[in-house]
Chain A
Amino acid sequence: MMLSSHRAWAIRLLTLCLVVYVSLALDSPRISPDDPGEHCNFKVTFRKYRLILLWELKNHSIVPTHYAFEYTIMSKPEGMKIVKNCTNITSSFCDLTDVWQDMHEMYIPLVKAYRGTALLVQCAGSIMTTNLAIEPPDFEVVGSADHISVTVSFPSLAPMVYKEDLRDHASLVIEEHLENNVKRHEPPINGSFIGNFSYVLNDLIPNTNYCVSVYFESIRFTPTVKAPLKCILYQPGQESGTSESLKIALLTIFFIVAVAISIVYALRQSGYVSLHTNFPKALIFKNFVPWTVPDLPLLEDVNTVEVCYINRKKKVWDYNYDDESDSENEASPRTSEGGYTMHGLTSRLLSQIPTSSATSQASHPEDSADEESEEPEEETQPQPQPWLPAALGPSPGQRECTSESCERTGGLPQDLSFGDNDSNSTEGSGGKITFNVNLSSVFLRVLHDDPEDSEEASLVLTPPEETVNLEESSQETESSLLVAGGEKLQVLFPSLPPKCLWTGDDLSDESDTGSSDVDDVRDGYIMR
């Protein structure tokens, strides 16, 4: 019995201890520094006249992708309230200007941090409206002649905090800092903080650096946030900061320009620099083209040029049948001057024959005619000109060519007028054939495609580079001359059959008759 009573008492005591211990454990009003949910630092601020709640995770290693914000109030047992613009945000702040409007209330914010769909951490806090920090407004400091002007920027509408005018909760304070002294200004503002407000600081010490700070001061809201100091050097007579700097800039530029001008003038006076107005032609860049564009060849029609050879062979017969006289006569022409050459047949590439040259040469016939009358037997130095038979019209001898032969020669014009046909006789003057060609008498006529023109088309060969003495004393010589001439001509006209080459036998002795009858224009040629 006694043992059971002892046991019962022990059990009762143990049970009581357990109850007490459990009660103490559950209801112990002890301080818990690590309360769950207190993982954020909250801050409420009135920034740019907006009520902003900011938060920051205490554990910076947690980097969420987005947040969800909720809140409740302490005055009533209401559930968590969702803020529309702060449900799924990446920023760590929420604009609650139109949400929190009771300044006496204690708000309980709840922030949930997510990474994707996973909840990383949720933190709660308690926000007293008295914890509100009103950030300072924007302001400018401008120095004037006798004062410093402080201009504060307010919004166009009256700023409201907790549904009440800010003017009812705070006053504007301007602090004037001078070295270690701080002077406080509380400018009287009628009505709300609207628009720009200017305040003048007077009684300033000249040439002294003043710093100004502006902020809102509230007896209700404990934190006071002051704006960073803006300093200005007060100098009497200065108009404004910006105009002063502008004046300094203008003076600096003027000084530099004046120094530059004086230096140049001094150098000029000393002769180190001499200024000229008349520049050499090489330095005149008026029409200077930085690059030279090669002139493209003119795209113009290339016409076959007819070289009209004017044969003004004059044979003076002195009724002397001696060969010597002929030879002398022959010699003289060979060495004669004044535009005559022995063979006198040259031509140029039609592609190289400009129209202007044709025109200029065409204007020369009169001159050449005059020269011939004076010095018919003179010869000139051969003109080095390229000569291509294919580019030429038919040679004088081709008039006798058959059409077939002429075709073989490359389509040379059929018509050939090198003088009158009648004058083309095979009779020679004792086997001596001398060609005297006045180069200046050579003129060109453009061959056209018209048939009428083709009839008049004639070939006048300009003298080749080498003069050929076609003098022959005998028939052999003549023939050889002919051959030679022919060969020469063959050489000159390799594509032409020999019989198509004119050897000069066609020249008539009557060519010199009627010297007064200078011109016998037939088919565009002048025969004498």
Chain B
Amino acid sequence: KENARLLISMSYPFPLRCLKDIKGFGLPQNILSYSWPVERNIKEAFYEISMQAFSIFSRHSPISIWKEEFLAQIKSGLSEQKEHLKRCLEEEKKQSKNMQVIQQSKLALRRYFQRIENYLKDKKYSYCAWKIVAVEIKRCFSYFLKFTELLRENQVSF
């Protein structure tokens, strides 16, 4: 949630002149379908998202767009999130036998973030491209937050 708030502040306000660079990246929403095991699937997906986002902000640091302190906060948050999920997944990995669904979800997410990275490259890491990417990553985080709330309220059957 904290990372989402940081991403919101990165993308807001959105400049009008960047509307022409808007692109659809095709977030894979089907990976959050209510299939068994849902809880592990969500964690795997969330881990993949955190790792990919951290990679984008680390390899192509948009220092000129956002302040260094701000970038440090988001990278720190994503790293912590990634490590937490990694530990959880390693424990469950030992117990789970069905990994096919999980691999498909991870593959879809990797393709999704690849498209984002390609967009940045194509736009040459422009100001508007970074703005659009920040908005998209934030959208991805928000999407997953909803399902974690549902998971917390036990609305998803396991």
B16 touches A110 (CB 8 A): yes
Query: Which of B5, B16, B17, B125 meets A29, CB within 8 Å?
Result: B125
Stretch at the interface among B74-82, B84-92, B137-145: B137-145
B132 touches A74 (CB 8 A): yes
Known: A31-B64, A220-B146. A108 touches B19 (CB 8 A): yes
Stretch at the interface among A33-41, A267-275, A387-395: A33-41
Do most interface residues of chain A lie in helix, strand or loop, or is the interface mixed? loop
Most B Cβ at <10 Å: residue of A27, A29, A31, A110: A29
A511–B8 Cα distance when bound, in Å, is 143
A130 touches B126 (CB 8 A): no
Interface residues of B in 118-158 (CB under 8 A from A): 124-127, 130, 132, 135-136, 138-139, 142-143, 145-146, 149
B22 touches A76 (CB 8 A): yes
**Interface range for A:** 20 to 34
- Residues in chain A near residue B5, CB distance under 8 A: 222
Known: A37-B15, A106-B135, A128-B8. A29 touches B149 (CB 8 A): no
B126 touches A29 (CB 8 A): yes
Do most interface residues of chain B lie in helix, strand or loop, or is the interface mixed? helix
Query: Which of A29, A36, A122, A126 meets B127, CB within 8 Å?
Result: A29
Most B Cβ at <10 Å: residue of A28, A35, A103, A129: A35
- Residues in chain A near residue B34, CB distance under 8 A: none
The reply to whether the CB of A77 lies closer than 8 angstroms to some CB of chain B is yes
Query: Which of B14, B62, B130, B145 meets A126, CB within 8 Å?
Result: B14
A75 touches B139 (CB 8 A): yes
- Residues in chain A near residue B126, CB distance under 8 A: 27, 29
B142 touches A104 (CB 8 A): yes
A32–B128 Cα distance when bound, in Å, is 11
A29 touches B64 (CB 8 A): yes
A77 touches B149 (CB 8 A): no
A436–B39 Cα distance when bound, in Å, is 146
Query: Which of A27, A38, A128 meets B138, CB within 8 Å?
Result: A128
The reply to whether the CB of A1 lies closer than 8 angstroms to some CB of chain B is no
A35 touches B143 (CB 8 A): no
- Residues in chain A near residue B145, CB distance under 8 A: 220
B125 touches A37 (CB 8 A): no
Q: How far is the CB of A24 from chain B (nearest CB, A)?
A: 11
- Residues in chain A near residue B146, CB distance under 8 A: 103-104, 220
A125 touches B17 (CB 8 A): no
Q: How far is the CB of B119 from chain A (nearest CB, A)?
A: 12
Interface string of B15-42 (1 = CB under 8 A from A): 1110100111001000000000000000
The reply to whether the CB of A6 lies closer than 8 angstroms to some CB of chain B is no
A75 touches B24 (CB 8 A): yes
